[in-house]
Amino acid sequence: MADDVRESCDTLAAAIRKTCEARGAKIACAESLTGGLLADAFVRIPGASNVFLGSAVTYDIEAKASILGVDRDLLSREGAVHPEVARQMAVATARLYAQPEYGDMVIGLSTTGVAGPGPDGDKPAGLVYIGLRIPAGLVAGRNELVEAAELHLTGTREEVRLATVLNVLQKLRERLS
């Protein structure tokens, strides 16, 4: 299964790279449970350096606040596994990696959740939130798009992490189409 998921990720990441390159867009990630797997999905593809800027792995809840600027009160109240945390992470990583020469063309992607094998407090294994921040002009007829999606995944820790990456890539591809 892992090889099939990785192959699907490679196909999606290659298509996303082409789309972003054609539109002058860049990609940055903020990762928690995926711990760099989302970045890996992009850098595995030749030509990734044309669009991929980097990934901030903020596994620790305090790192989400101090590095990305996720609202500390939100983190204290809800924990890291929350849709608003995913949204704030996506917006923050786009801002973190922004450069004047890119204009406002940085897509921010984020992952936060419980990979398992067991729950994290009251949050069950497999509960994941992915965040997307897509600049105005990259999504037809819309201003900036900031959204989170809730996932309920099953499988081993590795399967949940890989499925999270696949879901981020699918959602981004869908939004850019």
> How far apart, in Å, are the Cα atoms of 154 and each of 17, 60, 64, 75, 104?
28, 23, 25, 25, 36
- pLDDT tens for residues 81-100? 999 999 999 999 999 999 99
In CATH, what number is assigned to the domain containing residue 163? Answer: 3.90.950.20
Whole-prediction pTM? 0.96
**Count of domains forming the chain:** 1
Whole-number pLDDT of residue 1: 64
By residue range, what is the domain housing residue 62? 1-176
- pLDDT tens for residues 131-168? 999 999 887 766 899 999 999 999 999 999 999 999 99
